[in-house]
């Protein structure tokens, strides 16, 4: 059974890496396109003053999820963020590109909710810290 646990822990790590990287990269890319992102947010009725918060959320939570720091809580926050942004930024669904982006956000939220439900696996920063704290 040891190999099964190693496989599932490895897959959980891979899942966190894949889920976390999209937020990390998205947050960092917003820094380089700051003015355009402000305009886009305003065009969707979202105050541009929230952009720094979005950047911090995406980069910070993306990194935290990747390394498994507070993974369940982080995944829940990111899942809610993905759902909210799907409904605000990826409509109307009659536009095929927006429909695809909307469905992408729903899929990402689904993956994040799996982390909430089943945890980050054994290979995460929280587990490492807990082991050190016990010794």
- 7-57 confidence digits (pLDDT tens): 898 999 999 999 999 999 999 999 999 999 999 999 999 999 999 999 999
Compute the distance between CA of residue 135 and CA of residue 123 in angstroms, rounded to an integer. 18
Domain borders along the chain are 2-134
Compute the distance between CA of residue 95 and CA of residue 55 in angstroms, rounded to an integer. 26
Q: Is the pLDDT of residue 125 over 70?
A: yes
- 60-109 confidence digits (pLDDT tens): 999 999 999 999 999 999 999 999 999 999 999 999 999 999 999 999 99
Can you give the pLDDT at residue 126? 80
11: tokens are 């897959």
Region of 46 (left: φ > 0; alpha: ψ -120 to 50; beta: rest) is beta
What pTM, to 2 d.p., does this model score? 0.91
Can you give the pLDDT at residue 3? 65
């Amino acid at each position: 059974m040891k190999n099964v646990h190693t496989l599932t822990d490895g897959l959980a790590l891979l899942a966190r890496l894949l889920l976390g990287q999209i937020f990390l990269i998205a947050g960092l890319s917003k820094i380089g396109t700051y003015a355009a992102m402000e305009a886009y947010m305003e065009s969707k009725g979202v105050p541009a003053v929230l952009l720094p918060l979005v950047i911090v959320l995406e980069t910070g939570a993306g990194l935290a999820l990747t390394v498994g720091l507070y993974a369940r809580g982080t995944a829940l926050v990111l899942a809610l963020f993905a759902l909210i942004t799907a409904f605000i930024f990826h409509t109307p669904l009659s536009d095929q590109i927006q429909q695809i982006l909307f469905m992408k956000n729903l899929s990402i939220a689904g993956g994040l909710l799996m982390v909430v439900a089943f945890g980050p696996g054994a290979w995460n920063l929280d587990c490492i810290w807990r082991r050190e704290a016990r010794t």
